[in-house]
Amino acid sequence: MKNLRRSERLLPPRRCSIAPMMNRTDRHFRYLMRLVTRRSWLYTEMVVAQALVHGDPARFLKHHPQEGPLALQLGGSDPATLATAARLAEAWGFDEVNLNAGCPSTRVKDGRMGAVLMNEPERVAECVTAMRAACALPVTVKTRIGVDQRDDFAFTCRFLEAVAEAGCRTVIVHARKAWLNGLSPRENRSVPLLDYDRVYALKAHFPKLEIILNGGVNDLETAETMLRRCDGVMFGRAAYARPLLFAQADRRFHGSRANAPALAEVLAAYLDYLAVEAVHGKIPHTATAHLSGLFSGLDGARVTRRRLGELAASRDLKTLGGILAPWMYERAA
């Protein structure tokens, strides 16, 4: 308890979290996930600190009060700008601010953000120091096990040591290195080999750091096994593809006794949410795409997905209600 920041004391531990994903984890998807799991941590898409500080904060930071525990992920490497962005995160009610030191995209790299920062541990430490000084939120870092040829254990340790000395006590480690030249971001999520042992070795080397393992975890059973050797597991693609996997997460990872939510309940609550979010009967752009994964593996999923795809143009709330009705009533009966 002593090492926790003031705002962190009432929040659940980060045993299970849903990864930041551009074009996926917008506020509508996060709300949907929150209907499935009350206690898993949710992360925003990466927000470029510079854009946030000089732009319209509402555009980047607006979220539903029920989304928490919720982290804002920032991209940047200028301590003063990141400090201002961290202050905004606190003012807007986020529970954590996370610095991206793991994204390999060329655009991100050219902006001196993401995985390329692993080559500059002192710079990242300065950023963490500035962000911590600017707000009372926990400041965390998401990174990889290495970049390009620099992927030995000592290299990763030096990076973690620097951020830990700056006061970061939670590091999310995507258990792959990143190739900054020659691989697309997508390839960088599958071509470099997963090395979970490296993450466990980091936990053993830094017992006081909260180490969250990320990368390639597709089910809760596997995560439960991993939790014997690290503090938390972060799920990315599996959460987007199959959100209902996480219906058991609160019971499994947080000792909750509440019943796991059923598909029908989730859909009904999401429709209620969209009714409030809709403008003149039109639902938000991404809202239908996010629903697709809920039907994964179920009979009739293909037809529903096709109809959701067709709805993307009109975005009509009533039509969406009609598409979802069979899942809410007939099947629940």
Ligand X SMILES: Cc1cc2nc3c(=O)[nH]c(=O)nc-3n(C[C@H](O)[C@H](O)[C@H](O)COP(=O)(O)O)c2cc1C
Give me the active site residues, please.
103
SS3 call for 172:
strand
Read out DSSP for 97-112?
A: EEEEE----HHHHHTT
d(CA 177, CA 37): 30
**Pick 20 or 261: Cβ nearer ligand X:** 20
Nearest to 264 by CA among 202, 215, 324: 324
Cβ 264 to ligand X shortest distance, Å: 27
Read out DSSP for 202-270?
A: HHHH-TTSEEEEESS---HHHHHHHTTTSSEEEESHHHHH-GGGGGGHHHHHH---SPPPPHHHHHHHH
Residue 147 parent element (H or E): strand 139-147
Cβ 212 to ligand X shortest distance, Å: 11
**Pick 61 or 278: Cβ nearer ligand X:** 61
What is the number of other CB atoms lying within 10 angstroms of the CB of residue 123? 16
**Pick 211 or 267: Cβ nearer ligand X:** 211
**Pick 211 or 320: Cβ nearer ligand X:** 211
In the block, tokens 């009109």 appear at 314
Cβ 40 to ligand X shortest distance, Å: 13
Cβ 61 to ligand X shortest distance, Å: 15
Residue closest to ligand X when measured from CB atoms? 236
**Pick 79 or 236: Cβ nearer ligand X:** 236
Cβ 279 to ligand X shortest distance, Å: 26
Cβ 246 to ligand X shortest distance, Å: 12
The torsion angles phi and psi of 246, rounded to 5 degrees, stand at -90, 5
Nearest to 223 by CA among 73, 12, 17: 17
Give the interface with ligand X as residue ranges (CB under 6 A): 19-24, 45-46, 73, 100, 102-103, 142, 174, 189, 214-217, 235-238
**Pick 121 or 215: Cβ nearer ligand X:** 215
The torsion angles phi and psi of 209, rounded to 5 degrees, stand at -80, 145
Nearest to 163 by CA among 210, 121, 215: 121
CA-only gyration radius of the chain, Å? 20
